[in-house]
Structure 1
Amino acid sequence: MSWSARRVSALVAAVVTLAASTTLANRVLPGWAYPVCGVVAALVLVALGRVAGCSWADLGLSSVRRPALVGLAGAALVAVVFGIALAVPGLRTVYQDGRVGDPDFAQLLWLTCGRILFGTVLIEEIAFRGVLPGLLGATDERWSWPPILWSAALFGLWHALPALAIGRNAAVHAVFGATPVVVLQVLAMAAAGVAGIFLHWWRHLGRGVLASVLVHFTTNAGGLTLAVAMR
């Protein structure tokens, strides 16, 4: 891949945009603005990718049908995993999370279809499975580890602030209860990086970001719904 000054500048601007976005969303803005921040940041990132010379295919935004079918297949697999977790009592603690509170139906709808879909999934998939891999040289024609690993590493760093509350999950507390918060934070960030590689595989298989969006949304929204149901 040819590294032009325009592409390098776009990459730096994308990282700065993400750093500003996660800081604003997690530390500055009110809750209602969380998805708005995600949508605005996603649009800025797509614009940066296009200005840098990335095609729509490079960004994972060139098609719908195949990514949708592959994403729905992935979402079905996630649903099966949730079903197994519900059927096995020993696995239910994974979804007992003190961070979910006690939302009613309307609040749950807002959390899943507002905050999670637009404030979390959209920005993360556009950024870490679309724009950043595209700027780093990833293509759908072949699997290329360097851009995927770099994007996954940045995805892990992106979770630095949210990871501070990971200890409130019952399963995590049961296993790592006496572990210092900073260690839990690093472990959570590493786990997010691994998840980023997995999600990129769905994007690669589906030839589009929509595939990983559907898998990611089902995982997060489904997990939250189960956590609320088992509170």
Structure 2
Amino acid sequence: MTRRFLPLALTSVALLVWGVLVVPRLPPAPGVRTTANLLAVAVLLAVTRPSRTELGLRRDRAGSGLRWGGLVLGVVGAAYVVALLVPPLHELLDDAAGTETTAELLLRVLVFIPLGTVLAEELAFRGVLLGLALRVLGPVRAALVTSVVFGLWHLATARTPDAAVQDPLLSAVAVLGVVAATAGAGVVFAFLRLRSGSLLAPVAAHLATNALGLVAVAIAVRSGGRPALDTPDLGAVLSQLAWCG
């Protein structure tokens, strides 16, 4: 019985070691983490050899994936528009971290996030890991287990060294909040993958959350007419979760 769970356990550990220990130590130069993540996922695919069904890449399910993904894309996009139009919500986005130039923002939104974050993470978690989990667990437990691993994957990006020095307790709470939020997002992404039968659905949802979120933050900061603050907040979280460049 234990040996049945070994591929799932080893893959989970390998993903966490990569995401929490290796990636944060890579050079910060643009594109390095994106390239590294794509290469790591290529190795993961070569080692585990999942079927197209397990990856959610069956052609006959692509239409369903696009429909579900498009729905979520529209809902998330509408939510960010509302956040930009409603003053209190606009202020939450305005208190953002990061003030990239337009070129840097476009590079992150059009290249680094779609490839290094969305494609890499969806292939790894809603593709390979969820496929392995479904071999030994039912759909609900498989979704929960892989989503917990997905949340823990974000431990490194959730940590803010300056905040930890100033208030360790507050920093720990913030880290737990980010891990819980990303685990919750993982549950939604897993549901979309299972419901649609296609990886395209969580890819679209993930892209909407990260890329549109970063664009909303940039619009809020620039329209607010003041520099970004250094305190952790909604904008900072959105920026941190788009760490792939």
Q: Same fold (TM over 0.5)?
A: yes
- The list of structure 1 runs, each at least 4 consecutive aligned residues, that deviate by more than 4 angstroms after superposition, is 2-5
- Larger RCO: 1 or 2 (CA < 8 Å, sep 6+): 2
In 2 relative to 1, CA 60–194 (structure 1 residues): closer, same or farther, beyond 3 Å?
same
Secondary structure at 1:61's aligned position in 2? coil
| Counterpart position of 1:130 | 127
In 2 relative to 1, CA 10–40 (structure 1 residues): closer, same or farther, beyond 3 Å?
farther
Q: Deviations over 1:78-98 (max 9, x none)?
A: 111112212211112332354
| Counterpart position of 1:23 | 21
Counterpart selection for 1:153 from 131, 148, 155: 148
| Counterpart position of 2:113 | 116
Secondary structure at 1:137's aligned position in 2? helix
Runs of 5+ in structure 1 lacking a partner?
A: 169-176
Deviation at 1:105, TM superposition (A): 2.0
| Counterpart position of 2:214 | 224
CA contact (8 A) 1:49 1:134 kept: no
Secondary structure at 2:159's aligned position in 1? helix
Aligned-pair identity (%): 29
In 2 relative to 1, CA 120–223 (structure 1 residues): closer, same or farther, beyond 3 Å?
same
CA contact (8 A) 2:11 2:129 kept: no
Counterpart selection for 1:186 from 176, 181, 191: 176
| Counterpart position of 1:173 | none
Amino acid at match of 1:43: A
Deviation at 1:20, TM superposition (A): 2.0
Deviation at 1:14, TM superposition (A): 5.4
CA contact (8 A) 2:8 2:133 kept: no
Given the alignment of the two structures, is residue 45 of structure 1 paired with residue 39 of structure 2, yes or no? no
Runs of 5+ in structure 2 lacking a partner?
A: 222-245
Cα separation, 2, equivalents of 1:11 and 1:40: 21
CA contact (8 A) 1:25 1:33 kept: no
Q: Which aligned pairs between 1:1-231 and structure 2 lie closer than 5 A?
A: 8-9=6-7, 11-13=9-11, 15-31=13-29, 32-50=31-49, 54-63=50-59, 64-99=62-97, 101-137=98-134, 144-165=139-160, 180-231=170-221
In 2 relative to 1, CA 29–21 (structure 1 residues): closer, same or farther, beyond 3 Å?
farther
TM-score (norm 1): 0.81
Amino acid at match of 1:208: S
Q: Deviations over 1:49-94 (max 9, x none)?
A: 31xxx42111212233321232122111111111221221111233
Cα separation, 1, equivalents of 2:200 and 2:209: 14
Secondary structure at 2:155's aligned position in 1? coil
CA contact (8 A) 1:42 1:127 kept: yes
Q: 7-16 or 79-88, which moves further after superposition?
A: 7-16
Amino acid at match of 1:117: P
State the superposition RMSD in angstroms. 2.8
Amino acid at match of 1:132: L
TM-score (norm 2): 0.77
| Counterpart position of 1:174 | none
Q: Deviations over 1:149-175 (max 9, x none)?
A: 11010011001011114999xxxxxxx
